[in-house]
Chains A and B, each alone.
Chain A
Amino acid sequence: MEIWRLPISASQRGKLISAGYTSLSSLSSISSSDLARELKVSETEAMDILKVALHSRGAETSNASCSIVDGAQSAWDMLHDEESLMHITTSSADLDNILGGGIHCKEVTEIGGVPGIGKTQLGIQIAINVQIPHDFGGLGGKAIYIDTEGSFMVERAFQIAEACIEDMSEYNRFLRKDFQECKINMKPEDILENIFYFRICSYTEQIALINYLDKFISEHKDVKVVVVDSVTFHFRQDFDDMALRTRVLTGMALKLMNLAKKFSLAVVLLNQATIKHTEGSFQLALALGDSWSHTCTNRIVLYWNGNERYAYIDKSPSLRSASAAYSVTVRGIRNSSSSCKRIKMM
């Protein structure tokens, strides 16, 4: 690794290079007082530079034993992690099937579609389903709902929460057949209390909030999903410099990915559809451009197929491309009524 890539300030870097230190190995055998003299900086500053260089160098040396390499994990260990991955159900068994169980934790999932297809509905359903207790196969966690457009309708969330509790009671009754145990102590108000709602009015607030989430989630460790509805709105206008927009969006996506991994939660980003001119014709595509489409781990497109709503896995590291039908009902997202499969009991 060269000096260029060290996370030190530009002037420190400049001084190192003009003093002749262009590679890390050249720094390995010098003491901090000598370095301070050569660079004409204070000794504490020289010590900091050496510390940074040592740390970076340590990460460089590739070694068979993983414990020496900082932050690496062997594929075998990762397999164990992947198998114990938690999912958040979407309440539609068909949709859960193609998703490999549901929305994955520790990953960023982008969901996009035309207006009225059900993005916000799915977002609200996920914010509620994350709260399903462990006894019913859920995560028992809380949700953060970041609303950039004002689409979150609290009465609808109440409606879906009510239906979720009814379904759990139904399941309880079916399985336990003990009418005493039927009563779930959850009320829709309790579910609404576990949704942290933020309303964003500009892209600056959006960036600031995503920066702040690290601290917020450290203080509220039971948050298991972050839903952003929609990630697009504030970035579709107000940006004359497209390159800046790409940099800001990429930075945001990286922070969200770090959040997902650090706190083992799911991040769901809702995106809008736009019209793109490709291959000589106009087609629908998700907004925010080509560079953005690389940043999210998973991408699901919601679309109309005849009279049905369908979800298509456009991009995923582990799932195959597949579509499934779903429907938006008064109780929330459910299997499409034309599907002849019965709803699977958990």
Chain B
Amino acid sequence: MANKLISEIPLPKSIANVFAARNISTAKEALSLTEFELMELLDVGLTEVRSALSQISEIVAPPYQTALSLMEQRFQKEHLGGHFPTGLKGLDAALCGGIPFGVLTELVGPAGIGKTQLCLKLSLLASLPTNYGGLDGRVIYIDVESKFSSRRLLEIGLRSFPEIFQMKAMAQEMAGRILVLRPTSLSEFTQSLEQIKVSLLQNQVKMLVIDSMAALVSGEHEQGIRRQQTLSWHISFIKSLAEFSRIPVVVTNQVRSHNHDDASRYSFQVQSRDVTMEIPMRYDSHLIAALGIHWAHAVTTRLVLEAKSGQRFIKVAKSPISPPLAFPFHITSSGISLLSDYGMELMGPEINAIHCQGHNEIINFGMEGLQ
């Protein structure tokens, strides 16, 4: 809509010619200028500029929908009103059905905590037919760090849904629906994304997994502002991809240690110096999510996976519908499962903190179970 050509908009001939003469061919160019700038450029009066702008705006502006018709449309056309159940009952209940369609859901946590395991489980689930709780479609899995293990995927399938996966033909069909891409650079990733956008709907792709976003960006040499700008483009693109195709998009993110550059207060807080209590971040590893605050705004749902006192938790740190709940989980041969469907409600910004205590013990223990 933004790239609508001026020539396609029914404007009075005189003004349309002037736009063309001054090389303003798209609505985007016309709307990026103020009224006075347009008057100067086109050499026409204010009323004509205003009327032309209002006609262009009316055509370019998107149509409206009442919230009620939005809800009805979602419940009629989409699986469970636009949610993809993860199979983790407590989490699904908190998220009002599951991972939402059309927006980004982020999994963030320290290395080895189980992000890829959860991604594998979700990919498998998405490929299953709807009567097994799946989306009955293809999954595109962008595997940046070469962590995708088809052997592990099939093991999860066999343990969780033996009736399907014991038959070789069925296993082949399901596994065949998961397409793995391994981009070696950010530009390759960008190209793949553009390709994906074009073929998404025709090829029945029902989910996109990017594991991990942080690894893609950290591999590049650009620093500071340039890196932020590149990331901005990707954020915008992936969000629009999710939006127009209405599929769940799961992205994993890494953690990094908190350094003194990270801001946590506004200027008025620094000045007043009143009741602000510092959250005591005296744990052995004070970690925060990588990719910055712009990324944190762009994701709609953030699930934090962490280890505290030797126990793993999956926390809903940011969600439009769920309260801040933490569920204990463990990794088994059939994927990830919750140890309790009743989440603990956490207060305050604690929900965003990422802990890594007693983690080493768990990894070694977990590995034995996976063998």
- Chain A interface residues (CB < 8 Å from chain B): 7-12, 48, 114-116, 120-121, 144-145, 149-159, 189, 192-205, 207-209, 211-212, 214-216, 230, 233-234, 236-238, 244, 247-248, 251, 272-276, 278, 281-285, 301, 303-308, 312, 314, 321, 329-330
Query: In the complex, are the beta carbons of B321 and A211 less than 8 A apart?
Result: no
* CB interface residues, B 12-48, toward A, < 8 Å: 27-28, 31-32, 34-35, 37, 39-40, 43-46
Query: In the complex, are the beta carbons of B349 and A307 less than 8 A apart?
Result: yes
Please name the residue on chain B nearest to A155 by beta carbon. Answer: B96
Query: In the complex, are the beta carbons of B2 and A192 less than 8 A apart?
Result: no
A8 to chain B minimum Cβ distance, whole angstroms, is 6
In angstroms, Cα B239 to Cα A48, docked, is: 49
A201-B45 contact given A209-B62, A283-B263, A285-B267, CB 8 Å threshold: no
Query: In the complex, are the beta carbons of B68 and A193 less than 8 A apart?
Result: yes
In angstroms, Cα B323 to Cα A234, docked, is: 28
A237-B236 contact given A189-B68, A209-B61, A308-B348, CB 8 Å threshold: yes
In angstroms, Cα B318 to Cα A8, docked, is: 52
In which size bucket is the chain B interface? 35 or more
Query: In the complex, are the beta carbons of A244 and B32 less than 8 A apart?
Result: yes
Query: In the complex, are the beta carbons of A120 and B64 less than 8 A apart?
Result: no
Query: In the complex, are the beta carbons of B266 and A284 less than 8 A apart?
Result: yes
What chain A residues lie within 8 Å of B1 (beta carbons)?
201-202, 204-205, 208
A197-B65 contact given A115-B296, A212-B58, CB 8 Å threshold: yes
Please name the residue on chain B nearest to A254 by beta carbon. Answer: B34
A116 to chain B minimum Cβ distance, whole angstroms, is 4
In angstroms, Cα B298 to Cα A230, docked, is: 11
Query: In the complex, are the beta carbons of A207 and B57 less than 8 A apart?
Result: yes
Instruction: Identify the stretch in B139-147, B204-212, B269-277 within 8 Å (CB) of chain A at 4 or more residues.
Output: B269-277
- Chain B interface residues (CB < 8 Å from chain A): 1-2, 27-28, 31-32, 34-35, 37, 39-40, 43-46, 53-54, 56-71, 74, 81, 96, 100, 102-103, 229, 232-233, 235-236, 239-240, 242-243, 261-270, 275-277, 279, 293-294, 296-300, 302, 317-318, 320-321, 323, 347-352
Query: In the complex, are the beta carbons of A157 and B67 less than 8 A apart?
Result: yes
Query: In the complex, are the beta carbons of B67 and A208 less than 8 A apart?
Result: no
A236-B294 contact given A7-B46, A153-B321, A201-B240, CB 8 Å threshold: yes
What chain A residues lie within 8 Å of B318 (beta carbons)?
115-116
Query: In the complex, are the beta carbons of B261 and A192 less than 8 A apart?
Result: no
B175 to chain A minimum Cβ distance, whole angstroms, is 31
B94 to chain A minimum Cβ distance, whole angstroms, is 11
Query: In the complex, are the beta carbons of B66 and A238 less than 8 A apart?
Result: no
In angstroms, Cα B1 to Cα A71, docked, is: 37
**Which among B81, B267, B349 is the interface contact of A155 at CB below 8 angstroms?**
B81
Query: In the complex, are the beta carbons of B62 and A198 less than 8 A apart?
Result: yes
Query: In the complex, are the beta carbons of A154 and B349 less than 8 A apart?
Result: no
Besides A154-B74, A304-B348, 5 other A-B contacts (C-beta < 8 A): A149-B298, A157-B67, A159-B321, A197-B67, A200-B62
B64 to chain A minimum Cβ distance, whole angstroms, is 5
Query: In the complex, are the beta carbons of B2 and A204 less than 8 A apart?
Result: yes
**Sorted from nearest, which 7 A-B pairs have the closest CB atoms?**
A307-B348, A237-B232, A211-B57, A204-B2, A208-B60, A192-B68, A306-B277
What chain B residues lie within 8 Å of A48 (beta carbons)?
45
A337 to chain B minimum Cβ distance, whole angstroms, is 10
What chain B residues lie within 8 Å of A330 (beta carbons)?
323
In angstroms, Cα B293 to Cα A285, docked, is: 11
Query: In the complex, are the beta carbons of B60 and A204 less than 8 A apart?
Result: yes
Please name the residue on chain A nearest to B261 by beta carbon. Answer: A282
In angstroms, Cα B266 to Cα A236, docked, is: 20
Query: In the complex, are the beta carbons of A237 and B320 less than 8 A apart?
Result: no
What chain B residues lie within 8 Å of A145 (beta carbons)?
67
Query: In the complex, are the beta carbons of A197 and B263 less than 8 A apart?
Result: no
Query: In the complex, are the beta carbons of A248 and B32 less than 8 A apart?
Result: yes
In angstroms, Cα B300 to Cα A48, docked, is: 54
What chain B residues lie within 8 Å of A216 (beta carbons)?
64
Query: In the complex, are the beta carbons of A115 and B61 less than 8 A apart?
Result: no
Could you list 20 examples of A-B contacts with CB < 8 Å? A7-B46, A11-B43, A48-B45, A114-B296, A116-B296, A116-B351, A116-B352, A150-B239, A155-B81, A155-B96, A156-B96, A208-B60, A209-B61, A215-B58, A272-B294, A283-B265, A284-B265, A284-B266, A306-B277, A312-B268
What chain B residues lie within 8 Å of A207 (beta carbons)?
31-32, 57
What chain B residues lie within 8 Å of A7 (beta carbons)?
39, 45-46
What chain B residues lie within 8 Å of A304 (beta carbons)?
348-349
A307-B347 contact given A157-B67, A195-B67, CB 8 Å threshold: yes
In angstroms, Cα B155 to Cα A345, docked, is: 59
In angstroms, Cα B347 to Cα A231, docked, is: 29
A162 to chain B minimum Cβ distance, whole angstroms, is 13
In angstroms, Cα B284 to Cα A183, docked, is: 56
What chain A residues lie within 8 Å of B74 (beta carbons)?
154
A115-B297 contact given A121-B320, A205-B2, CB 8 Å threshold: yes
What chain A residues lie within 8 Å of B70 (beta carbons)?
154, 197
Query: In the complex, are the beta carbons of B102 and A282 less than 8 A apart?
Result: no
A290 to chain B minimum Cβ distance, whole angstroms, is 12
**Which among A9, A192, A202 is the interface contact of B44 at CB below 8 angstroms?**
A9
What chain A residues lie within 8 Å of B65 (beta carbons)?
196-198
